[in-house]
Copies of this chain bind each other. A is one copy, B any other.
């Protein structure tokens, strides 16, 4: 498994994690009269100055459209973008830069695969295996392509509140009828870290293609697409200190080459006639139109920033905080906490007595604590767990134990307020 584990190599000497808060101007503000405690990192992370300034600099010095351009600024913009791609390939440990497609984010990456690989490979009666903990972004695209192709969705169950995949059911479900196994690396609701390398290997054994939704893992733990052995992997820049509007699709070279294009337009063609066109090589075949160039600059800076800290170190910190929060939440009376007790990522979902999650989150906000409440784009999982919604705290390297303490204190106040 490439998710890192607690018997890790010694970490490189870096600044104290809490010192990194100074890199995030947004954290230094009062919300509703209280210091902001930002615990909504699974929705989106905050951005360090290094990322903000890299984009700023790009627009002030180097901005031009990429490819096809010959003048100096265009050369710089093209080099900038292709360097970001190479950096992304290193970040994911992809074998080649050409295996990295820039997209808007995880959602678009998955839609791209569903629309191209799916349309080309799925026949009536074929199965797509998902898990019950998938985000809508790794569910709805498959519903759409299933309807178009006559393929069928099957689901690997989740065990219950502790939120593990029911691997005992895998053999029965992962049959040769399964053409694709798409699953999340880290659950955005339960915090579960799935054994993706093992599961992708199981998929390969029945001849199924595998897709990993790495939205919640890419910025949080060491990631290695070759060690995972997936055919596709999707992630979003905005969840890993990068800007909004950019993300990645990793695809194995042979897969990408065999796929038809998706969107048509500039850059994705090699030649165009009135009635017919030929496609460019990968990854350009999948990048129609002007890409988010400044976004790729910010993403590059984010990769550098995270790797200077060390993803293993980030993972450990996330785990420590989440473990501490889990423990304190379970000892707080009247709570129901979801997800595995150990080995989890920095996401903790919970409920407090019969206070509705949205009432809880509104109240926490009055104390400056930013949580998320709702179905977290996991409606079917919510139904499975028998709850309409949960409250969720999600951590990143700039969060502290003191913030967890504050969360618990505020939850006590809230319970008191709602007369729990």
Residues of B within 8 A of A277 (CB): 136, 140, 143
**0/1 string, A65-87, CB within 8 A of B gives 1:** 10011111110000000000000
- The answer for the CA separation of A108 and B272 in the assembled complex, in Å, is 18
- Cβ of A351 within 8 Å of any chain B Cβ, yes or no, is no
Q: Are B245 and A104 closer than 8 Å at their CB atoms? A: yes
The verdict on A137 contacting B264 (CB below 8 Å), with A31-B73, A290-B236, A362-B70 known, is yes
Given A139-B272, A140-B272, residue A43 in contact with residue B74 (CB < 8 A):
yes
Q: How far is the CA of A155 from the CA of B340 in the complex (A)?
A: 61
Contact indicator A60/B26 (Cβ below 8 Å): yes
Interface size on A, residues (CB 8 A): 94
Q: Which candidate, A162-170, A292-300, A328-336, A396-404, is the interface stretch facing chain B? A: A292-300
A24 to chain B, nearest CB (A): 9
- Cα distance A107–B291 in the bound complex, in angstroms: 10
Contact in complex: A63, B40 (CB < 8 Å) = no
Report the bound CA distance from A139 to B271 in whole Å.
12
Q: Is there an interface contact between A44 and B274, defined as CB atoms closer than 8 Å? A: no
A141 x B265 contact (CB < 8 A): yes
Contact A43 B64 (CB under 8 A): yes
Check if A159 is an interface residue, CB within 8 A of chain B. Answer: no
Query: With A and B bound together, what is the CA distance between A285 and B162 in angstroms?
Result: 33
Of A9-17, A225-233, A373-381, the segment with at least 4 beta carbons within 8 Å of chain B is A373-381
Does chain B have a CB within 8 A of A98?
Answer: no
Q: Complex Cα distance A69/B29, Å?
A: 19
A364 to B70 CA separation, bound complex (whole angstroms): 10
CB-based contact B70/A365 at 8 Å: yes
Q: Determine the chain B residues whose CB is within 8 A of the CB of A111 once the complex forms.
A: 262-265, 288
Supposing A265-B136, A291-B245, A372-B70 touch, asked if A65 and B52 sit within 8 A by C-beta, the answer is no
Cα–Cα, bound, A380→B144 (Å): 34
Chain B residues contacting A36 (CB-CB under 8 Å) are: 73
A71 adjacent to B140 (CB under 8 Å): no
The answer to whether A71 touches B264 (Cβ under 8 A) is: no
Query: Nearest Cβ distance between residue A293 and chain B, in whole angstroms?
Result: 5
A70, B373: Cβ atoms under 8 Å?
yes
Q: Is A124 an interface residue (CB 8 A)?
A: no
The answer to whether the Cβ of A273 comes within 8 Å of any Cβ in the partner chain is yes
State the number of copies, please.
Answer: 2
Return the CB mask of A254-273 against B: 1 if under 8 Å, else 0: 00000001111110110111
Contact B52 A60 (CB under 8 A): yes
Indicate whether A387 reaches chain B with its CB closer than 8 angstroms.
no
Within 8 A of B (CB), among A378-415: 379-380, 383
Partner of A104, one of B292, B364, B369: B292
A59 within 8 A of B: yes
A59:B47 contact, CB within 8 angstroms? yes
Cα A206 to Cα B368 with chains together (Å): 59
CB-based nearest B residue for A45: B63
B153 near A72: Cβ-Cβ < 8 Å: no
- Our pick among B26, B265, B290, B373 for the contact of A63 (Cβ within 8 Å) is B26
Apart from A44-B63, A111-B263: 16 A-B pairs, beta carbons within 8 A? A25-B60, A26-B61, A26-B73, A36-B73, A40-B64, A40-B65, A44-B64, A52-B56, A71-B364, A107-B264, A107-B290, A111-B265, A136-B277, A139-B264, A238-B290, A272-B379
A interface vs B, CB < 8 Å? Answer: 25-26, 29, 31-32, 36, 38, 40, 43-44, 46-47, 51-52, 55-56, 59-65, 68-74, 104-108, 110-111, 114, 132, 135-137, 139-144, 153, 155, 236, 238, 243-246, 261-266, 268-269, 271-277, 288-295, 358, 361-362, 364-365, 369-374, 377, 379-380, 383
